[in-house]
Amino acid sequence: MTILQERIMTADNKIGISFFGAGNIGSTVLKRLAEMSDEQGGALRDVVSVRHVLVRDLDRSEREEAGFFVEPDLLTTDVADILKDGNTQIVVELMGGEQPAYEYISEALKAGKHVVTANKAVLAKFGDQLFSAAARSEVHLQFEASVGGGIPVISALRRDLAANEISSIEAIINGTTNFILTKMGAGDDYETALTEAGRLGYAEPDPSADVDGHDAVAKSVILAMLAYGAMINPESVVSEGIRNLVSADVSAASELGYVIKLIARLQSENGEISVSVLPTLVGKDTQLGNVSGVTNAVEFTGDLVGKLFYEGPGAGREATTSAVIADLLEVINDQLRGIQPAPLIQPHPVQVKPSEQIESGFFLRLIVENRPGVLAEISRILAQASISISSVVQKDITGQETASSVPDSAELILTTHSSQRGSVLEAVELLGESKSVLQIGSVLPMSR
């Protein structure tokens, strides 16, 4: 028998749990809690009771899809039934979206209720306000499921790495884009890979939040809160999605020994924080480079532990359910033991490094005129912007389909030594003015 089971079996009063939302994830969490009660001989059921489940309407089709039927008398469409219920100690928010989720979470915290949420959008935008509300009410605000799916990323930062100064984080934290890029690496074009992701349920009907990088940006902001105590406006994060990537980019990167991944990169240096979410060239022989499909991965660099690598399922109802229930059991455990919640870091505005000053090596794919002197001209342009070339590969693509009508053309693949992003963008602008450059394909950072 576990310690938690012993406490559950000797508890005097039941802990009331209510849910904001019982769709795909909410229904799965409810189902798993019921299964756990049966597996533990009813021990969990003896101390925990589901009080209310807030739904948009009383139609049960979504919950039936999840294979679990919520008792009709638990369902409500009135949030006040939960907020004013003195017997609800814990609220699990699984509605998604900013509103009304933020309002409901905020009101629950003010009412002295512990909150477990997976809502990255709300935390990224209102995290400082919610952290303060939780501190004032001396209640838990748990959000393990907001980043990394089934990987315990949040608990690692809040507990396991708390003694470390985190100098950098590199992460693959969007399973949809990683699946698409994995398929493109195997030969599919972007549209084919996206269609397959949708067919398998990895991509939403409107995939914009994933493929345009917004989902990964929100998660990056949450990581910055925990790693650096930094409250960063999501709109200030340097970001780009994967829509504009083409098979030629993936092939060229592969020939150089790289794969392309959507990388969230956070760094702290000399009191400045930088945060970016960009398609990035990552070495094939690295741990991040070998993360495939919908898998997520996070690499922390701490001053005491060095590099730590976490990898696991980053999407799907099972991974999210695992993280939500882990948070829920932690709150229940603390309630049974009479332990006050550990104080949350209170995020504060920090000095964010200007995006132009973020440094890395860069990959440039250009379509140029295939004639003598062009490479020398491009080298001069790059030197004018203080860019040092690391390697050059040139391919004759005469007769192949390009954006140019010029009969003689070549594909030029350049990599640079570490350069400031602003200098590279300046060079790209100058290249665009050159008559020798027919098309600027892609300009991508390279992982160190």
pLDDT tens by residue, 84-139:
999 999 999 999 889 999 999 999 999 999 999 999 999 999 999 999 999 999 99
From 31, 219, 261, 353, active-site residue:
219
Question: What's the average model confidence in pLDDT over 17-38?
Answer: 84
What does 368-384 look like in DSSP terms, one character per residue? EE-STTHHHHHHHHHHH
pLDDT number for residue 101:
95
Record the tokens describing residue 65, joined without a space.
């899809």
- Which CATH architecture fits 157-313? 2-Layer Sandwich (3.30)
Sign for the CA dihedral angle at 187, 442, 240, 268 comes to positive
Residues 6+ apart with CB under 8 A from 439: 366, 367, 402, 403, 404
Residue 6: its pLDDT value, please?
A: 43
Coil, strand or helix at 429: helix
State how beta strands 75-76 and 306-313 pair. unpaired
Beta-ladder partners of 260: 281
For residue 112, the cross-strand partners are: none
- The whole-number pLDDT of residue 407 equals 66
What's the confidence (pLDDT) of residue 343? 73
Residue 356 DSSP symbol? G
Active-site annotation holds for 219: yes
Residue 156 neighbours by CB distance under 10 Å: 18
Q: Which segment, 41-45, 351-355, 419-423, is predicted with the most confidence on average?
A: 419-423
pLDDT band at 22 (very low <50, low <70, confident <90, very high): confident
Amino acid 378: pLDDT: 93
Asked if the domains at 157-313 and 357-446 fall in one CATH topology, the answer is: no
| 11 DSSP assignment | -
What's the predicted TM-score (pTM) here? 0.88
Distance CA 325, CA 299 (A): 24
What is the rounded CA–CA span in Å between residue 446 and residue 448?
6
> pLDDT at residue 428 above 90?
yes
Q: What distance in Å separates the CA atoms of residue 342 and residue 331, rounded to the nearest whole number?
A: 11
Beta bridge partners of 389: 416
Q: Does 3.30.360.10 match the CATH number of domain 357-446?
A: no
pLDDT at residue 355 in the model: 85
| Distance in angstroms (rounded) separating the CA atoms of residues 441 and 430 | 15
Domain parsing of the chain, residue ranges: 3-142+318-337, 157-313, 357-446
Structure tokens at 255: 């020939």
Q: What sign results for the dihedral spanned by CA atoms 395, 400, 403, 404?
A: positive
CATH number attached to the domain at 3-142+318-337: 3.40.50.720
278-292, 326-340, 402-416, range with greatest mean pLDDT? 278-292
Percent of the chain with pLDDT over 90: 64
Write out pLDDT tens, residues 162-171. Answer: 999 999 999 9
User: In the structure, what pLDDT confidence band is assigned to residue 19 with cuts at 50, 70 and 90?
Assistant: very high
- Lowest mean per-residue pLDDT among 34-48, 99-113, 214-228: 34-48
Say how far residue 431 (Cα) sits from the centre of its chain. Answer: 33
